[in-house]
Chain A
Amino acid sequence: MKLSRDAMAARVARDIPEGAYVNLGIGLPTLVANHLPPGREIFLHSENGVLGMGPAPPPGEEDADLINAGRQPVTLLPGGCYFHHADSFAMMRGGHLDICVLGAFQVSATGDLANWHTGAPGAIPAVGGAMDLAIGAKRVLVMMEHHTKTGESKIVPRCSYPLTGIGCVHRIYTDLAVIDVNQDGLQVVDMVLGLSFERLQQLTAAPLLAPRGA
């Protein structure tokens, strides 16, 4: 019943239109690139100064000077370009990116995002570009499993982990559902086949609004 990681990535990719300037966060969101239809021109941005980022190079053609935010080797599409970090983050913070897709530990009922630090003793905090993307992209999409490995809901009334941004998430894609963060609450957009709204609500720690027309 649950969507695989690739099926989640394909679901996110469906919602990315031609011409969009998009940043895919490291980890799960990186998979979205594999599911963008080849005919659709989409500009992928990498925070380390790449616009028009292409797929991984064939083995043996990796270039240590051309990597993505996760330090994996990538390529540049014809028409792509390079720039320094202040310009790259101007694109992010300045509202020029249409979409960013981020992973998360937790998303709250009001769209607060926690995705950079567990706050656990001994944990090494690392933030990277997450806070800039969270407040800067026109649409912030979160892609995550609905539950933690120990079965707790990652959609919560209030985040217990340190925040990345306040009220910044627009839409959540999980392995169970797609949920919009609206003014009036968490609006379910669609659910995996065979899952009822009542069951989804039981599995989610924050209150949900039933899909429209359901």
Chain B
Amino acid sequence: MIDKTVPTADAAVAGIADGATVMIGGFGGAGQPDELIDALIARGATDLVIVNNNAGNGETGLAALLKAGRVRKVICSFPRQPDSQVFNALYRAGQIELELVPQGSLAERIRAGGAGIGAFFTPTGYGTLLAEGKETRLIQGRPHVLEYPIRADFALIKAYRGDRWGNLVYRKSARNFGPLMAMAARTTVAQVHEVVAPGDLDPEAVVTPGIFVHRVLRIAETRLAGSAKEGALPGDGHHHET
């Protein structure tokens, strides 16, 4: 029997070594796998390259990982936020490397990494600082910039429901980078609010097929403000059985 569920957060992040590239899902707090990040901090791996849309908010989650001095480089699109003081201080002190990527190019580079694409041309960023040193080409009269894929050793993502085969559905705008990062890592770890039996997720509504997911960790108490008011959620097979 194939069972990708793992019993503990420690088991979920096992194998993340010093120097690893780790994708972390989320857009601000939505979709950020806080418990997996805490486990990564506890694990102690250092010299990490982190791929995330942001560079940490407040003092918890990704910001705590940065504050613990575990991150060599951040690849992201929007590090500067009202509460990004941890990253700001490290950056100004020259203690962290930043690769700034336009958000759509970040998403597409991750997608390309998972989809086996060698590189792609995009019009985004042409003529700007963020295209400096990159190959360009005029395609159908329009200038484009060559962007390379991003792959990772691990992806830590947050979904809403999963099954032991690793099929996932997400919740609202917490989906964001999860489905892309799931494809682009050698080992993808998903924390989910609920683990259901195979077949209970509506196959028409599965967002991330289990082939992309290697470990599933149930974190039932994760923050879900307002969820009690919801009716049927996508992929909730229980509502389709009758």
Contacts and interface: CB of A to CB of B under 8 A. Distances in A.
Interface string A61-100: 1111111000100001000001111101100110000000
A165 B173 CA distance: 27
Contact of B27 (A48, A89, A136, A166): A48
B81 to A, nearest CB: 8
Contacts of A145: none
B30 interface: yes
A185 B28 CA distance: 40
Given A67-B173, A84-B179, A126-B80, A93 B128 contact: no
Given A50-B173, A65-B174, A92 B27 contact: no
A122 B92 contact: yes
Interface in A30-82: 46-50, 57, 61-67, 71, 76, 82
Contacts of B240: none
A165 B102 CA distance: 12
**Counting chain B CB atoms within 10 Å of each CB, which of A61, A67, A92, A136 scores highest?**
A67
B22 interface: no
Given A93-B124, A128-B77, A166-B127, A65 B103 contact: no
A127 B107 contact: no
A50 B177 CA distance: 13
B30 A67 contact: yes
A61 B226 CA distance: 6
Contacts of B103: 47, 85, 89, 127-129, 132
Contacts of B225: 62-65
B148 interface: no
B77 A129 contact: yes
Interface string A123-136: 01111111110011
A126 B171 contact: no
B122 interface: yes
Nearest to B160: A65
A187 interface: no
Contacts of B180: 84-86
Nearest to B174: A65
Contacts of B92: 122, 124
Given A84-B180, A131-B130, A124 B88 contact: yes
Nearest to B111: A86
Main secondary structure of the interface of A (DSSP, over half): loop
A66 B28 CA distance: 11
A3 interface: no
A66 B227 CA distance: 10
Nearest to B183: A86
B125 A71 contact: no
Interface in B25-69: 27-31, 53
Contacts of B173: 46, 48-50, 65-67, 82
Nearest to B115: A86
B206 interface: no
B207 A129 contact: no
B146 to A, nearest CB: 15
A10 interface: no
28 contacts: A49-B27, A49-B173, A50-B173, A63-B172, A64-B224, A65-B174, A65-B227, A66-B30, A71-B28, A84-B176, A84-B180, A86-B108, A89-B103, A89-B104, A117-B129, A124-B87, A124-B88, A124-B92, A125-B80, A129-B77, A132-B102, A132-B104, A135-B123, A135-B124, A162-B129, A165-B126, A166-B126, A166-B127
Closest CB pairs A-B (n = 3): A89-B104, A132-B104, A63-B226
Interface of A: 46-50, 57, 61-67, 71, 76, 82-86, 88-89, 92-93, 117, 122, 124-132, 135-136, 162-166
